[in-house]
Each structure stands twice: as structure tokens, then as C-alpha cells.
Copies of this chain bind each other. A is one copy, B any other.
């Protein structure tokens, strides 16, 4: 035990590093399980690269798949996948805390720090309470979602499969995983209001982040919310509406997607597609048939993604909001970035800038490399890379045809996207902790733009 402690100390387990290594470990365990012959219906192993890809896609709640999830995997495989999704979605440390709670152990300061990092919670107090609350709410919301879905799935698939499908897809939706075991995402249910709205609702809640619900349930009125919650809610709302309108306008007369639907169905699926694009990865229309314009819009929406501390990916709504507000301030000739009569600190603006530029850099580099290693169209590869980074899971249909090299690259991208590029950097970059911040270099102007 003491040896273990010493080893941990040697590894310098700062919270971001534990997070990064924990996710990596979970992915590896998942890969080993999915690599087993019993995981597939055919009884043959899928091969390590494909198992690793599927495990990473589950843990990182991405939803990109190399085989049809419903048709290829056995019940054992499905259980492993949904388990990995739940672990990944809730966050392995939240679960570790759960285990600690159950075993009656005291939670150490270090463990609290890890949870804090993961849930993006500022105060240390009440973290155990928060974790308990997070886990309880997750199961409650997923339970309600499954109940509602079962009213539609049981009549179609029978009692046993209906319940199993309801649970699977409720978890998958809440965790923004995008995995489905129905064969063709929810394309067959493109006009089904109950299924569409339930799944969309689960996705939205899962993508807001727990700090926002806590704020909502505590403070009730928008005016009293924290700046963070206000930004998350406003940005999410605007992005959903803008995405919905654009999707409708560009696809309404596309014979391969919306044209054959009636107006109600057109509106529902535009709404649905706008919601899922930002991180969830379900699709009610075929992604390889949408127009280039829509594809490009979706790449932008995917890049922005969900909100911090949620099951969503991307650079996050608040990062996008902070960048937008900074640009707006500069145009107006202001020195401060102000939102809802509060000033956003310079440190946060710098951080937002870093997150966006690292994200952009990763996507550019990876899609560039893929244009060399893969045969596919540039736009499809850019879509696939962004989808992986933002843990969205939508695809133009090229995932199964990727080379092993391409699959490994996309696996790495899903991992980096989920852990977060900045957390990743914090985990392994050499940080200058002992800089005397009271000594500052003198300022000098440069010209930009």
C-alpha cells in the first residue's frame, strides 16, 4: 500500500493527470472486453484496433462506429458499451467517489480536487454532496427518459426488447453518446414526436452541465443565475434556433433529406438535427445526403459543442460566448469584456482563446494527415475529424472504411476532445508554478491586423 502511494507521488498525480490517465485506463479495459469473441454476435473477435475505436467512442461518449452497433455486437457487447458510456458520461471520478461513499471511506482532499477539476466546480465545499446529487439526478433523469421512450418502444419491439431499448437509448441520449442499437439511428422515427422530443430533451439536459441545473433549481429566476449559467443558457438557445432555421432553409427541398416530409415533420427534424449536431450524434436524416452547405454549418456547430462540465464536447458554448463577447467589445472600443453587467476576467478570455486555437489546430492537423492516409473526400474527412474532436459522433458514412491508421488517429482525437485539450496540456506540460507573479515584464505594443 505504501509502495503504491509512493509510486503515485512519483507520477505527480495532479488532478488533470488523473483525469487523463483514468479515461485512458477505462478505454483500454473496454477495448480488451470488446475484443473478446463473446462480445460479437458472430462469436469472432472484432480485432484490437476496432475494439479500441469502439471503446474510445463509448467512453468519450462520441458515437462514431466502425460496425453497426445494433447488428454486430452481442448482448454482452451492448452491455459493455452502455456501461462504458455511463462511466464516461458520469465521469469515472464521480463513480470512484460513489464507490468510496458506498464503502464508507472518507474522501481525501486530492480526490476532491479531481472531482472539482472534472465538474468544473469552483468551491471545494459540498463536493461530496454535489457528486451524490449528480449521480442521483443522472439516474433519475435517465429513468424518466427510459419510461417515456418505453411507451413507444414496447408496442414496437415487445416488452423485453422494448424496455432494454428504452434504457439503452435513454442513457445514450443523456450522456450525449449517440450510440443506437436500432440499426439506423432514429431515421425510421423521423416524424415521431414522442421519441424525437424525449431524446432531444435528454440531450439538451445532458449538454447543459450540472452546475447549471443546480443554479436553476436553487435560484429559480434567470436574473439571479450566475454569469456562467446565463451564458450557457443564452448561447445554447441561440445556437439551437440558428441551427434549426439554417437546416430547415437549406434542406427543405433536398429530396434525399427533408423534401418528402410534411411541414410538421420538417420542423421537428430540423429542430432535432440542430440539437444533436452540437454534441449528441444521433441523426434522423442521412448525413451523407445533406448538402455541402449544411455539412459545413454542422462542422461549425459541432466545433462549438456543449457546455462545460456536461456530457457534451467541442470547445464549449461558454468559450464561444467569451470569444464572441470579446470581439464585440473590441469593435465597440471597450477595454473590458462585459456580459450581463459582469466583467469576464482577462484570464478566462486568454483561456478561451487557447482552447479555441488548440481545437482548431488539432482539427487542421488531423484532417490534413487524413487527406494523405485516406481515400475519402476532403469535406467528409473534415466532418469526421470535427465530429471526433467534439465527441459528436455524426459521420458522412466513412468511419468503417477508414484505414487502421486513420482509425487510431480518430481514436486519439476522440480521447483528446473528451479530456479537453487544455486539461491535456495541464496534465502533461511543464508548468511554471514558482514564477514570482509580482515581477512582470514591461509592456511593449505590437501592431496586429
Instruction: State A337–B354 Cα separation when bound (angstroms).
Output: 12
Chain B residues whose CB sits within 8 angstroms of the CB of A102 once the complex forms: none
Determine if B333 and A432 form an interchain contact, defined as CB atoms under 8 angstroms apart. Answer: yes
Cβ-defined contact, A444 with B355, below 8 A: no
Contact of A331 among B316, B321, B327, B425 (CB under 8 A): B425
B211–A343 CB distance below 8 A: no
Query: What 1/0 flags go to A322-350 for Cβ under 8 Å of B?
Result: 11101101111111111001111111111
Pairwise interchain contact A226-B444, C-beta atoms closer than 8 A: yes
Contact call B442/A296, Cβ cutoff below 8 A: no
**Does any Cβ of B come within 8 Å of A259's Cβ?**
no
* Nearest-Cβ distance from residue A211 to partner chain B, whole angstroms: 7
- From B295, B350, B422, A326 is in contact (CB under 8 Å) with B350
Give, as a whole number of angstroms, the nearest-CB distance from A288 to chain B.
14
Tell me the complex Cα distance, A250–B420, Å.
30
Q: How far is the CB of A287 from chain B (nearest CB, A)?
A: 15
* A228/B296 in contact, CB under 8 A: no
Q: Known contacts A250-B372, A292-B371; decide if A120 and B425 are in contact (CB<8 Å).
A: no
The 8 Å CB contact of A441, one of B343, B437, B448, is B343
Which residues on the B side are within 8 Å of A322 (C-beta)?
446, 448
Name A449's closest neighbour in chain B (CB-CB): B355
A421 at the B interface (CB under 8 A): yes
Expressed in whole angstroms, the Cα–Cα distance for A122 and B352 within the complex equals: 29
Q: Considering only CB atoms, which chain B residue lies closest to A367 in the complex?
A: B296
Whether B296 contacts A446 by the Cβ 8 Å rule is no
**B residues in contact with A446, CB < 8 Å:** 227-228, 231, 318, 321-322, 344, 348
Q: Determine if A258 is an interface residue (Cβ-Cβ < 8 Å).
A: no
Contacts of A437 in B (CB 8 A): 335
What's the tally of chain A residues with a CB closer than 8 Å to chain B?
85
A447 lies within 8 A of B228 (CB): yes
B347 touching A448, Cβ below 8 Å: no
Please determine whether A449 and B351 come into contact, CB atoms closer than 8 angstroms: yes
- Of chain B, the residue at the smallest CB distance from A209 is B447
B-side contacts of A445, CB under 8 Å: 122, 227-228, 344-345, 348
Q: Looking across the interface, which residue of chain B has its beta carbon closest to that of A308?
A: B447
Q: A293 within 8 Å of B by Cβ?
A: yes
Nearest opposing residue in chain B for A323, CB measure: B357
Q: Which residues of B contact A423 (CB under 8 A)?
A: 449
Closest Cβ–Cβ distance, residue A9 to chain B (whole Å): 21
Contact bitstring A353-365, B, C-beta under 8 A = 1, else 0: 1110110000010
Interface residues of A (CB under 8 A from B): 120, 122, 209, 211, 226-228, 231, 250, 291-293, 295-297, 300, 308-309, 315-316, 318-319, 321-324, 326-327, 329-338, 341-355, 357-358, 364, 367-368, 371-372, 378-379, 420-423, 425-426, 429-433, 435, 437, 440-449
Task: Please provide the 4 A-B residue pairs with the shortest distance between their CB atoms, ordered closest to farther.
Answer: A355-B449, A330-B354, A342-B444, A308-B447
Q: What are 20 sample pairs from A and B whose C-beta atoms fall under 8 A apart?
A: A228-B445, A292-B371, A296-B367, A300-B364, A308-B447, A308-B449, A315-B449, A323-B353, A327-B353, A330-B353, A330-B422, A331-B431, A332-B429, A332-B430, A336-B441, A345-B443, A349-B353, A352-B448, A355-B448, A420-B449
